[in-house]
Amino acid sequence: MDKTTAGWINGFLGMLVFSGSLPATRAAVVDFDPVFLTVARATIAGLLACVLLLAFREQRPRRGDLISLAVVALGVVVGFPLLTALALRLVTAAHAIVFVGLLPLATAIFGVLRGGERPRPAFWLFSCLGSALVAGFALSQGLSAASVGDVLMLVAIVVCGLGYAEGAKLARRLGGWQVISWALVLSLPVMLPLTLATMPPSLASIRGSAWGGLAYVSLFSMLIGFVFWYRGLALGGIAAVGQLQLLQPFFGLVLAAILLHERVSPAMIAVTAAVVLSVLGARKFAA
């Protein structure tokens, strides 16, 4: 298997894992405060990352890597989880999920700015087409661009795109799971005390669905998904593999329909097919 194909396979697996993040977050914030959910998921994943790094005796990152790891932590450990958790207190999972369709464009832009990539002009055409399809679908669902929840989601997309691109750049040398693990460990001295400080006074009233949401975002969204995602971006290219995120809203909506009983419309299926074509076109012209 060549490097590019391996990158796309890993990227697809990472995208599938991330597709469950917003439905799981929506289930969790029903009972958990968004701040507690953010710091708790980072703490749980950070403790597991410590175990992994010690078990495999990974070398510490260079001093020059610390700034990049801090950017990763601010983008994907703190920024995106907190902003989406706050947004999901105001909007439904289906409402928020469609904004993820703008993430590939943000990732590609930061891939150029931070990763030194130079996709061909045709790539940007397909990337913008895919983003426009998702944005159009979002508007057809009645989204209000002026709502606080929408603004929070837009900011979340920007910081997440930066965190993805910065992490992918490091993953070329450190490895995918090592990057997210070191970012989590770097965050742990802040996240652990905040988890203890913001813990709910009583856990007896927390429903099983909220615990399940916390478990998913802690283990899968915060750690396991990045093992595949950063490896995929590093091998297949940040801008190119990042286009797989155009499919994430639709996988997420299917999960929201199954878990949260939200309707999947024929229009969603049609737009998904068009988005798949735009992803294939972006892949062809990425390099």
Rounded CA separation 18/158 (Å): 16
For the chain, 287 residues long, give each residue's pLDDT as a single digit of tens.
Answer: 788 899 999 999 999 999 999 889 989 999 999 999 999 999 999 999 999 999 999 989 999 999 999 999 999 999 999 999 999 888 777 777 777 777 888 888 888 887 777 777 887 888 788 778 877 776 676 655 447 887 898 899 999 999 999 999 898 888 889 999 999 999 999 999 999 999 998 888 899 999 999 999 999 999 999 999 999 999 998 888 888 887 887 788 788 778 767 666 677 667 767 777 777 777 677 65
Rounded CA separation 138/244 (Å): 18
Number of residues that make up the chain: 287
Task: Please tell me the predicted confidence (pLDDT) of residue 97.
Answer: 75
The two tokens of residue 271 are 């737009």
Rounded CA separation 7/109 (Å): 19
The two tokens of residue 41 are 């998921």
Q: What is the dihedral of CA 69, 72, 78, 84, to 10 degrees?
A: -170
> Are the C-beta atoms of 72 and 167 separated by less than 8 Å?
yes
> Are the C-beta atoms of 254 and 32 separated by less than 8 Å?
no
How far from the centroid of its chain's Cα atoms is residue 235's Cα? 18
The two tokens of residue 127 are 């990337």
**CA-wise closest residue to 44 among 192, 198, 203:** 192
Task: Give 101's DSSP letter.
Answer: G
Q: Residue 203, SS3?
A: coil
Task: Please tell me the predicted confidence (pLDDT) of residue 264.
Answer: 63
The CA radius of gyration of the chain, in Å to the nearest whole number, is 18
* pTM of the predicted protein model: 0.85
